[in-house]
Amino acid sequence: MQYSTVILAALAASGSLGAPLDSRQVEAGSQTNGIRITLEDQSVELGRQFTINGDGNAEVRVAVGEPEKFAAINVSLGDNISNKELRCQARGLDDQPIVGKRGPDDKPNIDVNFSDAGKGPWTFLTGKQVVKEVVCSPEFKKITPEKLAEGQQVLVHFRKEKGDNQPFTIPVNPAAEKSTPSNTNEQYKTVEIEVGKFTDPQSIRCQVFSDRRLTRLVRGQRGENIDTSFADGDKGEWDFLVHRNGQWVSGQSKVRGVFCSRQIQQKNAAGNA
Ligand SMILES: *[C@@H]1O[C@H](CO)[C@@H](O)[C@H](O)[C@H]1NC(C)=O
Ligand SMILES: *[C@@H]1O[C@H](CO)[C@@H](O)[C@H](O)[C@H]1NC(C)=O
Ligand SMILES: *[C@@H]1O[C@H](CO)[C@@H](O)[C@H](O)[C@H]1NC(C)=O
């Protein structure tokens, strides 16, 4: 990521922009000492830089002051930080560690424990996020393949009645082919998509097939949206639509297969007609 000259100049001049800092914060005059944290928000050309004192062998934290939205974080460990494995978390308003990614689009690193490793900024997976504080600790470890795989799953919940609290759930791996459930004789009225917190992108969509050959897409409606693919967006269930007497009405459908992929596009308004 690139800064505009304006921000670079401002950062160079002041070391940090605004914000009351922790007592361990020191002037960021040096490029090579301390733990340098940069929070970025390119769209409004705003950057914030903090330099935290320490040797990397104990937990240190810095408050953003007034919590603000940022798009990315860069962790830069100075020459005098002996623990090069040190990782940092960006914490949101509820203290939750924010998920970030960096590296090639087809195979990014995804984590909440951000390292330096000379690889540049981590971009927040779900877009701009409010950051309240940054915590760096030698306890923070790189994500395990198991944890990553679990968080990359998409859970597809089917219900016979809206709001039913015992849905029939199919876990879907977005990298895999179509998944086929075992109980294919049941009929369902709604589908809800639950995207794991490490799934990239969070806007991933799923399709549901009603026939054995997995060619017929089930259509659904959520609010104003009518589509043959379904997203999470924290907006709950989609009602299935069936064609009856020349009209699309809420109804039940068999579920023979499910497919979730970053390649599936949302229909535009025209396609909804
Ligand atoms: C690293 O450098 C920073 C900035 O000069 C300084 O405040 C800090 O005490 C140094 N840390 C160690 C462990 O030497
Ligand atoms: C991010 O940190 C690295 C040090 O790992 C540094 O080389 C790079 O210039 C920093 N990038 C930004 C945009 O601050
Ligand atoms: C981050 O580090 C903490 C503390 O070691 C660990 O519990 C957690 O599993 C790590 N990764 C993620 C993705 O939470």
Residue 10 CA, ligand 1 centroid: distance in Å: 22
**pLDDT for res 175:** 85
Q: Per the structure, how many domains does the chain have?
A: 2
Per-residue pLDDT reduced to its tens digit, 89-107: 999 999 999 999 999 988 8
Find the mean pLDDT for residues 124-149: 96
159 falls within a domain: yes
Q: How far is the CA of 126 from the centre of ligand 1 (A)?
A: 34
What's the whole-number average pLDDT of the chain? 86
Return the ligand 3 atom nearest residue 148 CA: 13
Confidence of residue 267 (pLDDT cuts 50, 70, 90): confident
pLDDT at 195 over 70: yes
Residues 170 and 237 in one domain: yes
Instruction: Name every protein residue with a CB atom under 6 angstroms from any ligand 1 atom.
Output: 26, 30, 33-34, 53, 55, 78, 80
Asked whether residue 139 is assigned to any structural domain, the reply reads: yes
Which domain covers residue 121, as residue numbers?
7-143
Q: Tell me, yes or no, whether 81 and 30 share the same domain.
A: yes
So what's the pLDDT on residue 45?
62
Q: Tens digit of pLDDT for each residue in 3-43?
A: 433 343 334 333 443 333 333 344 444 457 899 999 998 76
What DSSP line would sit under the chain, residue for residue?
A: ----HHHHHHHHHHSS-SS---TTB-----SSSSEEEEEEEGGGTEEEEEEE-S-SSS-EEEEEEEEEEESEEEEEE-TT-S-TT-EEEEE-TTSPBPPEEES-TTS-EEESSB--TT--PEEETTSSEEEEEEEEETT--PPPHHHHHHHH-EEEEEESSTT-SS-EEEEE-TTS--B--S-TT-EESEEEEEE-TT-SSTT-EEEEE-STTS-PBPEEEETTEEESSB--TT--PEEEEEEETTEEEE--EE--EEEEETTPPPP-GGGG-
Q: Are residues 96 and 112 in the same domain?
A: yes
What pLDDT was estimated at residue 42? 75
* Ligand positioned closest to the Cα atom of 198: 3
